[in-house]
Structure 1
């Protein structure tokens, strides 16, 4: 197993966990848990691959499905045993999955020969679209549209990967980009950092 596949599976499992947490919060049944976990984990990558015109990654690689099922079962056992989720559990799980998927999505886009700007867009799609689908199905405002920084974190990290790759190894570039996204996202959650463009009278 290559390190790229390993990190991709870890990101898949973490994103699936965030989907399962939403399913619990919405009091969904077992099918709802699997569906939300799956769309969160593979939704963004599926959209990316369709746009790039390459085979959809999970169709021929069942490891992703196994990771989703395993993560869903872990979430069910954890929630049923603890009875209470740690505060910000969803946001933190989402932040880790976001950082992993953006880097992997950017790397894959560059690997098929797209321009750097397109690779940044594909990385952002990989990280954000699964969570968007999850939140829409759960009748929630997607995290990407809420007040804390979200898409800006993915663009910063993906851009860093593209800029560093000519000078550093892929592994080092990926590690730095991952750290940038994760730190920015966690800072945004902790201090509610946002890019305000409108002024509202109730603020």
Structure 2
């Protein structure tokens, strides 16, 4: 991936996650600086953990434009909500899904650039995609989306596998990006619209058996 592609994806990713964090802060009636904190943690948390694990410079410290994009998106969201207060949950779910998908791709690409294998890159993509939202949900006292019985981390996984498949057959980078992005967003939003669930363990009812 060229540096331009990576930069654009990163700026879009932090912007979308900033909006998601700010919208959840609005929904939870968090006021003042708390909204900024929640949105910033959402936008920067996953990428920060990724860079620590890869032993790379923290992306928003090395390239402050990511931080500027984060703050600009927060301010824009605050004005949007202030003057259009009838914001429903759909906006949050949409921007959260897109932000997660973009960060998933960023995590994969940065790991590959760092010289890891594809399995580690996909794992790093999942980590980048879900960690900021995980911290956001914990701060806002929500059950983290990744802990619910619906595609979230698994949507990142499938999106990563699509990226890996397209990368292996050596298609253009743009199709790797678009294929992974579409797959992740479709699985995430589809699960919410049509009630898809991912159940691994099934609980059984045990009754006392008496002789």
Question: Is the TM value for this pair above 0.5?
Answer: yes
Which SS does the other structure have where 1:96 is aligned?
A: helix
- Name the counterpart of 2:176: 173
1:118 offset after TM fit, Å?
0.6
Which SS does the other structure have where 1:2 is aligned?
A: helix
1:92 offset after TM fit, Å?
1.1
Runs of 4+ aligned residues of structure 1 deviating over 3 Å after TM superposition are none
- Name the counterpart of 2:158: 156
Does the 8 Å contact 1:34/1:68 carry over to 2?
A: no
Distance 2:5 2:115 in 1: 21
1:28 offset after TM fit, Å?
1.6
- Structure 2 gaps of 5+ residues are 206-211
The CA RMSD over aligned residues, in Å, is: 1.5
- Name the counterpart of 1:109: 111
- Name the counterpart of 1:18: 20
Which SS does the other structure have where 1:190 is aligned?
A: helix
Distance 1:70 1:117 in 2: 34
Report the TM-score, using the length of structure 1 for normalisation.
0.94
- Name the counterpart of 2:55: 53
- Structure 1 gaps of 5+ residues are none
- Name the counterpart of 2:196: 193
Which SS does the other structure have where 1:113 is aligned?
A: coil
Report the TM-score, using the length of structure 2 for normalisation.
0.91
CA 1:140 to 1:87, structure 2 compared with 1: closer, same or farther past 3 Å? closer
Report Cα offsets for 1:135-193 as digits up to 9, x if no partner: 11111111111232111110001122122113212221111111111111111111121
Distance 2:131 2:147 in 1: 12
Answer with 50-59 or 87-96: which moved more.
Answer: 87-96
Distance 1:198 1:18 in 2: 32
- Residues paired across the two proteins, number: 201
Answer with 169-178 or 122-131: which moved more.
Answer: 169-178
Does the 8 Å contact 1:106/1:158 carry over to 2?
A: yes
1:118 paired to 2:120: yes
Distance 2:38 2:54 in 1: 24
1:144 paired to 2:146: yes
- Name the counterpart of 1:7: 9
Does the 8 Å contact 1:12/1:41 carry over to 2?
A: yes
